[in-house]
């Protein structure tokens, strides 16, 4: 039997219809997923960005979660000592005398002219707050037992002495010219040297120098003292890179007594007394902070 040839016009119409149907199907899929992207099956997972492939420290990794890299400056506060363990038998918590905060950035943390701590003589004309003086003596003795020559360069500084220093610094700046006396005083205040803003008034701060009278981060004796200060209840009060919290430039020879428990945590984390106390404020005790 002879087969009748197909009409070319009919075939052309059929091809157009098939193409149109296929195009409609593609458009339907694209419109369905335009807000959410391609739909993944339940057993699939989204690809990780290249910056999120570094594993977190094992002690912080949570099974089943995506590994990621903590940002620079990340600090773990999960092992922050309980507030009730701070202080002593006279007063528990951050209100204990060990944690008295003096910070030139906040006038509420200035000490009054009438603040006079109970002081005990240490050596070479220097005194330290009585309740911590034995720990200071042990700290110095331990450094000297290592063969280091270490000397105290400053401990207690009274309010009146701070006022004399403030006036002298302002006068020096004013005498250079270019500013009024009021402007010079504001410049000194910005440097954190307003009377009552120096924590040496607490009697809990001490500055050390080596045998050459130097206080530099590279000085061997001060490097040793920074490494072991927490064992005696001291911290490096003004470390490098934390000026935004302390309001003071880094001081490699300036140590502050806070007791062993707080000192161990602060030095291990590389933070400041300000950050330590902030972690205990209501609603400000995160597991991680920047």
User: What are 129-134's contacts with CB under 8 Å, separation 24+?
Assistant: 129/156, 129/202, 129/203, 129/204, 129/257, 131/97, 132/98, 132/204, 132/233, 132/257
Residue 104's pLDDT is what?
Answer: 83
Q: Is residue 218 part of a domain?
A: yes
Q: Is residue 33 part of a domain?
A: no
Q: Distance between CA 188 and CA 182 in Å, rounded? A: 10
Looking at residues 8-29, what average pLDDT do you find? Answer: 58
Q: Distance between CA 18 and CA 15 in Å, rounded? A: 5
Q: Is residue 55 part of a domain?
A: no
Residue 183's pLDDT is what?
Answer: 97
Q: Is residue 52 part of a domain?
A: no
Q: Is residue 9 part of a domain?
A: no
Q: Is residue 51 part of a domain?
A: no
Give the model confidence (pLDDT) of 194-251 as tens digits. 999 999 999 999 999 988 888 887 889 999 999 999 999 999 999 999 999 998 899 9
Q: Return the percentage of the chain with pLDDT > 70, whole number.
A: 72
Residue 242's pLDDT is what?
Answer: 93
The CA distances from residue 36 to 32, 40, 93, in Å, are 9, 10, 50
Q: Quick one: CA torsion of 176, 181, 182, 183, rounded to 10 degrees?
A: -10
What CATH number does the domain containing 126 carry?
A: 3.30.1380.10
Q: Is residue 207 part of a domain?
A: yes
Q: Is residue 211 part of a domain?
A: yes
Q: Distance between CA 236 and CA 59 in Å, rounded? A: 27
What total number of domains does the chain contain?
1
Containing domain of residue 266, as a range? 76-289
Q: How does strand 119-123 pair with strand 126-129?
A: antiparallel
Looking at residues 170-192, what average pLDDT do you find? Answer: 94
């Amino acid at each position: 039997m002879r087969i009748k040839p197909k009409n070319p016009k009919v075939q052309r119409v059929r091809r157009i219809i098939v193409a149109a149907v296929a195009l409609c199907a593609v458009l339907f899929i694209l419109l369905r997923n335009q807000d959410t992207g391609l739909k993944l099956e339940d057993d699939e997972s989204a690809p990780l960005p290249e910056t999120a492939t570094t594993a977190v420290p094992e002690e912080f990794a949570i099974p089943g979660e995506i590994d990621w890299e903590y940002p620079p400056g990340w600090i773990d506060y999960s092992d922050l000592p309980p507030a009730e363990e701070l202080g002593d038998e006279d007063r528990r918590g951050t209100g204990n005398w060990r944690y008295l905060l003096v910070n030139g950035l906040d006038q509420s943390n200035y000490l009054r002219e009438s603040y006079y701590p109970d002081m005990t003589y240490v050596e070479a004309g220097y005194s330290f707050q009585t309740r911590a003086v034995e720990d200071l003596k042990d700290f110095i003795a331990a450094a000297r037992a290592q063969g280091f020559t270490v000397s105290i360069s400053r401990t207690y500084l009274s309010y009146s002495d701070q006022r004399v220093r403030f006036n002298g610094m302002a006068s020096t700046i004013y005498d250079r010219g270019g500013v009024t006396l009021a402007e010079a005083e504001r410049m000194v205040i910005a440097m954190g040297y307003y009377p009552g803003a120096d924590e040496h008034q607490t009697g809990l701060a001490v500055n050390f120098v080596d045998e050459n009278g130097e206080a530099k981060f590279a000085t061997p004796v001060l490097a040793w003292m920074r490494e072991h200060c927490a064992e005696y209840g001291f911290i490096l009060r003004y470390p490098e890179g934390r000026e935004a919290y302390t309001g003071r430039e880094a001081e490699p020879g300036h140590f502050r007594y806070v007791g062993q428990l707080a000192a161990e945590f602060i030095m291990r984390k590389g933070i400041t007394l300000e950050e330590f106390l902030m972690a205990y404020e209501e609603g400000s005790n995160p597991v991680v902070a920047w």
